[in-house]
A = this chain, B = another copy of it.
């Protein structure tokens, strides 16, 4: 335990977010963008150029499965978590917690050094 934190988390934290949003319910790309935006108070935007390659990676890794829906005029590709994806999500979530705790501990220490900023606006 207390292994070294995989830096994969730093770069690929978008993966974690996408997996967690998909865990709530299956979604197609465009809907995923909206959902992530909504769930983050419009703070996190997932651009198409980031999302589609990401989804393809997740699928290739077997973490999500996709299915086309042509029943409506709009061609939609629905993605949903696989069992493997859920496992991965749980694991990544734990790693994230570890990582966040580390950073928070560091930031807590610097507050002792750096005077609190005048919190205006």
- Residues on A close to B: CB < 8 A? 1-5, 10-11, 13-14, 16-17, 20-21, 23-24, 39-45, 86, 89-90, 93, 96-98, 100, 102-107, 109-110, 113-114, 117, 121
Q: How many protomers of this protein does the assembly include? A: 2
Question: What DSSP secondary structure best describes chain A's contact surface?
Answer: helix
**CB-based nearest B residue for A25:** B113
Q: Let me know if B4 and A43 touch, CB within 8 A.
A: yes
Query: Given the complex of chains A and B, what is the CA–CA distance between A26 and B13 in angstroms?
Result: 30
Partner pick for A44 among B42, B86, B102, CB 8 A cutoff: B102
What would 26 A/B residue contacts be, using CB atoms closer than 8 Å? A2-B41, A2-B42, A3-B43, A4-B43, A4-B44, A5-B40, A5-B43, A10-B13, A20-B106, A20-B109, A20-B110, A23-B110, A23-B113, A24-B109, A24-B110, A24-B113, A39-B105, A39-B106, A39-B109, A40-B106, A44-B102, A86-B114, A89-B110, A89-B114, A90-B117, A100-B103
A121 CB contacts on chain B under 8 angstroms: 1
In the complex the two chains form, what is the Cα distance from A55 to B1 in whole Å? 30
